[in-house]
């Protein structure tokens, strides 16, 4: 009996001993797991190299690179106030020509801190026309009702939808959907109609005396615009309302003012063409071309897109001059040679490689600076740089090969980002995230936030398409001047492209979208030169789908 009791007591002690060891082992495992998951990890110090930060300084207080200061030093190198066209441009259009949260700081850096807000400044053409239309209503407009609460609400909705690119809404659709015309809409329609007429075709002083008077009144200002376009530099200091500075909220000259300057020159060209003053029209066209190249020298994509917008206006003007009656062979040849002698706009590859890369790296640096997460600075920067290296190489390729390569990189980046996000969603994702160590969590968070920075700032290939399209159109306009010179000398259009080379043009323009020479056809007294355009489809010179220049 005693033996059995002693055996039972020994078994109980042994069981208690194993239970205690199991609990101890379980507690140790839990402690190890908790330590692995929640042990505080440090933030590795940034390293400075081409693969990580791109620039190696200057450095902010937290160790991140001050990209605004680095880019500003690069853009402002060798620029003086006397050689800076941006200074004269802001003087012409006033402080309202600056867009951003720190216009006063930019004015101070430009040396224009005392420039008054109000004055006899040039105004963008569309703004001047709108103001004139509002001050001179027609009887029909006066008979219409003012804007109602319902129409005001609808206009706000329409503006937001159009801004997002969700829909394209014309005035008729707005009226049909929301009940008729209002005085404001009528004024807007009349302003747009006048703008299209004075920039789209030659017009007379008798037809639009108010605009002729405005152009004559500001003739000296337009000459100043032509003079500043000949200056060698365009430098808008990088000024931010934040400390350290953010590239994303940089104050710049607004697109409205830049495009408005080109529109004013375009309107004056059309009046000169009506009056038969072709040389004066060509000088204004050259001013547009020079201004486009100046503005595009900035390192960021916004400036290049503004330059492309100005260049498009200039090419529209060139095409109007090319078909002007009385254009002699000598003039057509000279105009074409001057156009061919102009350097192209700043290559978009350089803008992607420098300005847009730095903008994205700056967003990642801003995220790292917040200290809300334990982040691996170098991992974030390496990931962004690797993506931009691939994008830049794709942008260097001809469009037929570059577009699928560029979009493939973007699509792969988006799919990887979405897959990573989906992996840690829901209850299973939360449980999976609990199994991550602190180091794994830091790596994952760094990857996610670097992807967020690229999602915000990654340019679409449509920017490359816009750049290439503008350069293609310029080559077509150059060829159009050769066609016009041939026709003015011979009395008929050239029978083929070979008839122009090399007597009238050094070489026939290429169509990079098709990987072939530019196309042309001569029908019913009209010589049409065209490129297939970004879609790569042969549409026979359809002006809605192709890049087309017509000589008639």
What's the pLDDT tens digit per position in 141-156? 667 666 555 555 555 5
Q: For the chain, give percent helix, strand, coil, nearest 5.
A: 65, 5, 30
Could you tell me the pTM of the whole model? 0.87
- What was the pLDDT predicted at 164? 47
Q: Which of 226, 340, 344 is nearest to 280 (CA)?
A: 226
Burial class (CB in 10 A: 0-12, 13-18, 19+), 142: exposed
Question: In sequence order, which residues have a C-beta less than 8 Å from that of residue 426 and are 6 or more positions away?
Answer: none
By percentage, how much of the chain surpasses pLDDT 70? 83
Residue written as tokens 């059995």?
4
Average pLDDT of the residues in 399-418 = 86
Q: Count the alpha carbons within 13 Å of 448 in the hemisphere toward its beta carbon.
A: 16
Burial class (CB in 10 A: 0-12, 13-18, 19+), 110: buried
Helix or strand or coil: residue 120?
coil
Q: How confident is the model at residue 422 (pLDDT cuts 50, 70, 90)?
A: confident
- What was the pLDDT predicted at 398? 92
Q: How confident is the model at residue 165 (pLDDT cuts 50, 70, 90)?
A: very low
**Rounded CA separation 114/203 (Å):** 39
**Rounded CA separation 457/30 (Å):** 42
Average pLDDT of the residues in 367-386 = 85
- What was the pLDDT predicted at 426? 77
Instruction: Give tens-digit pLDDT for 245-260.
Output: 888 888 999 999 999 9
Question: Could you tell me the two tokens for 135?
Answer: 């001050």
Average pLDDT of the residues in 315-342 = 93
Q: Which of 336, 359, 160, 162 is nearest to 246 (CA)?
A: 359
- What was the pLDDT predicted at 133? 93
Better pLDDT: 426 or 66: 66
Note whether 329 and 485 are within 8 A (CB). yes
Bond into 244 cis (ω within 30): yes
- What was the pLDDT predicted at 167? 44
Q: Of the ranges 127-131, 383-387, 414-418, which one carries the lowest mean pLDDT score?
A: 414-418
**Rounded CA separation 236/112 (Å):** 12
Q: How confident is the model at residue 177 (pLDDT cuts 50, 70, 90)?
A: very low
Question: Could you tell me the two tokens for 127?
Answer: 């703004």
Note whether 395 and 352 are within 8 A (CB). yes
**Rounded CA separation 242/429 (Å):** 37
Backbone angles phi, psi at 319, to 5 degrees: -65, -35
**Rounded CA separation 124/225 (Å):** 13
**Rounded CA separation 465/451 (Å):** 24
Q: Count the alpha carbons within 13 Å of 254 in the hemisphere toward its beta carbon.
A: 15
Residue 9 reports pLDDT greater than 90: no
- What was the pLDDT predicted at 194? 95
Question: In sequence order, which residues have a C-beta less than 8 Å from that of residue 378 and are 6 or more positions away?
Answer: 44, 46, 47, 52
Residue 393 reports pLDDT greater than 80: yes
Helices (H), 276-396: 278-295, 301-322, 329-340, 348-351, 357-369, 377-396
Instruction: Give tens-digit pLDDT for 269-290.
Output: 999 999 999 999 999 999 999 9
Bond into 432 cis (ω within 30): no
Q: How confident is the model at residue 310 (pLDDT cuts 50, 70, 90)?
A: very high
Question: In sequence order, which residues have a C-beta less than 8 Å from that of residue 138 and are 6 or more positions away?
Answer: 190
- What was the pLDDT predicted at 22? 64
Residue 162 reports pLDDT greater than 60: no
Better pLDDT: 292 or 368: 292
Instruction: Give tens-digit pLDDT for 20-49.
Output: 666 666 555 555 544 544 545 566 788 899
Question: Could you tell me the two tokens for 142?
Answer: 């006066």
HEC secondary structure over 398-432: CHHHHHHHHHHHHHHHHHHHHHHHHHCCHHHHHHH
Instruction: Give tens-digit pLDDT for 62-98.
Output: 889 999 999 999 999 999 999 999 999 999 999 999 9
């Amino acid at each position: 009996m005693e033996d059995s009791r002693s055996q039972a007591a020994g078994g109980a002690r042994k069981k208690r001993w194993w239970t205690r060891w199991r609990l101890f082992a379980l507690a140790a495992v839990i402690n190890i797991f908790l330590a692995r998951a929640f042990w505080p990890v440090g933030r590795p110090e940034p390293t400075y190299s081409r693969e990580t930060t791109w620039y190696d300084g200057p450095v902010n207080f937290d160790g991140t690179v001050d990209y605004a200061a680095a880019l500003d030093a690069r853009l402002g190198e060798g620029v003086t106030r006397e050689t800076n066209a941006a200074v004269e441009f802001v003087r012409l259009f006033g402080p309202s020509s600056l867009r951003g949260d720190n216009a006063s700081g930019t004015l101070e850096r430009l040396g224009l801190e005392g420039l008054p807000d109000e004055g006899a400044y040039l105004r963008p053409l569309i703004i001047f026309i709108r103001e004139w239309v509002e001050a001179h209503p027609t009887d029909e407009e006066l008979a219409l009702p003012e804007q109602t609460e319902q129409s005001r609400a609808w206009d706000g909705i329409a503006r937001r939808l159009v801004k997002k690119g969700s829909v394209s809404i014309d005035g008729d659709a707005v009226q049909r959907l929301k009940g008729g015309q209002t005085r404001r809409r009528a004024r807007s329609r009349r302003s747009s109609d006048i703008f299209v007429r004075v920039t789209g075709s030659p017009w007379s002083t008798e037809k639009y005396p108010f605009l002729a008077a405005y152009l004559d009144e500001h003739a000296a200002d337009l000459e100043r615009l032509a003079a500043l376009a000949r200056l060698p530099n365009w430098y808008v200091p990088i000024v931010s309302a934040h400390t350290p500075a953010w590239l994303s909220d940089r104050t710049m000259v607004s697109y409205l003012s830049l495009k408005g300057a080109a529109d004013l020159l375009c309107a004056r060209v059309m009046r000169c063409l009506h009056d038969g003053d072709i040389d004066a029209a060509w000088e204004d066209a050259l001013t547009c071309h020079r201004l486009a190249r100046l503005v595009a020298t900035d390192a960021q994509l916004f400036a290049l897109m503004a330059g492309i917008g100005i260049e498009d206006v200039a090419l529209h003007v060139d095409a109007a001059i090319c078909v002007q009656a009385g254009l002699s062979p000598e003039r057509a040849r000279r105009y074409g040679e001057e156009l061919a002698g102009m350097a192209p706009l700043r290559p978009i590859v350089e803008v992607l490689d420098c300005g847009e890369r730095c903008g994205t790296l700056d967003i990642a640096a801003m995220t790292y600076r917040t200290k809300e997460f334990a982040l691996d600075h170098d991992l974030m920067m390496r990931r962004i740089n690797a993506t931009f290296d691939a994008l830049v190489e794709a942008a260097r390729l001809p469009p037929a090969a570059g577009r699928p390569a560029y979009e493939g990189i973007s699509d792969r980046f988006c799919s990887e980002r979405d897959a990573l996000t989906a992996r840690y969603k829901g209850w299973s994702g939360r449980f999976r995230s609990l199994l991550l160590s602190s180091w794994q969590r830091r790596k994952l968070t760094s990857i996610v936030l670097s992807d967020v920075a690229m999602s915000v700032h990654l340019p679409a290939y449509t920017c490359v398409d816009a750049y290439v399209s503008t350069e293609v159109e310029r080559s077509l306009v150059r060829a159009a001047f050769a066609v016009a010179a041939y026709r003015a000398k011979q009395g008929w259009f050239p029978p083929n492209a070979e008839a122009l080379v090399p007597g009238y043009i050094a070489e026939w323009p290429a169509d990079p979208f098709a990987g072939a020479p530019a196309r042309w056809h001569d029908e019913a007294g009209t010589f049409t030169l065209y490129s297939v355009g970004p879609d790569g489809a042969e549409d026979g010179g359809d002006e809605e789908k192709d890049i087309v220049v017509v000589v008639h």
